[in-house]
Chains A and B, each alone.
Chain A
């Protein structure tokens, strides 16, 4: 099947780099002029170094991933063309798969070890978008979720292209400079407001808004949460890092998994340290998103009861 020339000649991410750079500068100037966006020099450096390392890792692992894609495509189920409507389907289907991949990245510790890098900043600005992991292939997600479209018959070049568009879209939503978009846009698309919720550690916001481009997936699968004016977002992770060291940012959760698995009392516990949600422990002494939310909800219910009694 002949790959269209524009797919061969254009790399959307390379083309987007000047836009990324200018946008970061603009946001910094906005922060200087309005004080509404927060930056920390060492955090910015860490995020940008993580982004650079992610690109280097892409080059290093590229051969492996490319080779795997070719192998899967050679064994595809269907022959799918490059017709314009196939592009539309590929774009939407890729975003649908992104939603699930992203949801698993938050609910399975093995995948979280990789994705936590992106959430490890306590800031929320455009450099946070570039804070990306270095060793993603270690999750082995490329073997199944990452290959699903190619296995179906979408050409690897098309899958890579729509995936790149998805990534580029997600850059601009990492900002506090934009409060809300028009209502129709907020209803359908992922926006800075929706994604701020995703990066927040407030119990009400934990494990919400996994969408890439279309927020409709969260609405369909029950994971949507609107940003509330009475609940300002606190960014980062449940146990924030106390370091700006990129190597530690990259490896800390992987090391935690290895340590926990090595000390596990049974094979089942070892497996669950890897596959259960982040924060799981055999004796329940650590906190998961679920337990944090439950505690918060119980306190809220108790306060509401007390208020009702007082009113009577």
Chain B
């Protein structure tokens, strides 16, 4: 019985700590300043990442930058107060769907990467990058 009380107390303690974290307002969402900022982060993350053309989400919460060699597409997505980086190659993308005109819902073939929503400035831009991302879907076998 005491074990159950201990467990219940622990769950309560964890909940209180999380609530206090939220209440104190100490979480600040990660945002990219500009494309140079995104390129710098990619270079720091993968030594020698040679940034080519790219796009920054309007809210600064994501960016896509192609490697100049064409080998991969660098993706940065804000997850809470940090950015998560992926290097997308053929087969990495499960689907990239344009939603609400200028947003793209991106899902990867990656167990730990929760779906992301990239907000672009125009519908054309969203459509263009959704197309480029869709090119990285696995090739269907005949």
Is this pair of chains taken from one and the same complex?
yes
Residues of A at the B interface (CB closer than 8 Å) are 21, 24-25, 28-29, 31-32, 38-45, 48-49, 51-52, 55-56, 59, 122-123, 127, 202-203, 234, 236, 239-245, 248-249, 252, 255-256, 292, 295-296, 299
30 interchain pairs (CB within 8 A)?
A21-B13, A28-B20, A39-B21, A39-B24, A40-B82, A41-B22, A41-B27, A41-B80, A42-B80, A43-B80, A43-B81, A44-B18, A45-B14, A48-B14, A48-B17, A49-B14, A55-B10, A123-B81, A202-B44, A234-B44, A239-B86, A240-B84, A241-B84, A242-B84, A242-B86, A242-B110, A242-B113, A243-B79, A249-B112, A296-B47
Within 8 A of A (CB), among B43-73: 44, 47-48
Q: Which one, A21, A28, A42, A295, contacts B26 given CB within 8 A? A: A28
B77 within 8 A of partner (CB): yes
Q: State the Cβ distance, B65 to closest chain A Cβ, in Å.
A: 17
Decide: B17 and A40 in contact? CB cutoff 8 A. Answer: no
Q: How far is the CA of A29 from the CA of B26 in the complex (A)?
A: 9
Decide: B47 and A299 in contact? CB cutoff 8 A. Answer: yes
Q: State the Cβ distance, B103 to closest chain A Cβ, in Å.
A: 18
| Chain B residue contacts of A28, Cβ below 8 A | 20-21, 24, 26
* Majority DSSP secondary structure for residues of A touching B: helix
Residues of B at the A interface (CB closer than 8 Å) are 3, 7, 10-11, 13-14, 17-18, 20-22, 24-28, 44, 47-48, 77, 79-82, 84-86, 110-114, 116
Q: A241-B113, A244-B79, A299-B48 are in contact. List 8 more A-B contacts (CB 8 A).
A: A28-B21, A39-B81, A49-B14, A239-B86, A248-B111, A248-B112, A256-B111, A296-B47
**Total number of A-B contacts with CB less than 8 angstroms?**
98
Q: How far is the CA of A243 from the CA of B22 in the complex (A)?
A: 18
Decide: B112 and A44 in contact? CB cutoff 8 A. Answer: no
| Chain B residue contacts of A51, Cβ below 8 A | 14
Decide: A243 and B114 in contact? CB cutoff 8 A. Answer: yes
Q: How far is the CA of A55 from the CA of B7 in the complex (A)?
A: 9
Q: Which one, A29, A49, A122, contacts B24 given CB within 8 A? A: A29
| Chain A residue contacts of B112, Cβ below 8 A | 241-243, 245, 248-249, 252
Decide: B26 and A31 in contact? CB cutoff 8 A. Answer: yes
Q: How far is the CA of A202 from the CA of B48 in the complex (A)?
A: 14
| Chain B residue contacts of A31, Cβ below 8 A | 24, 26
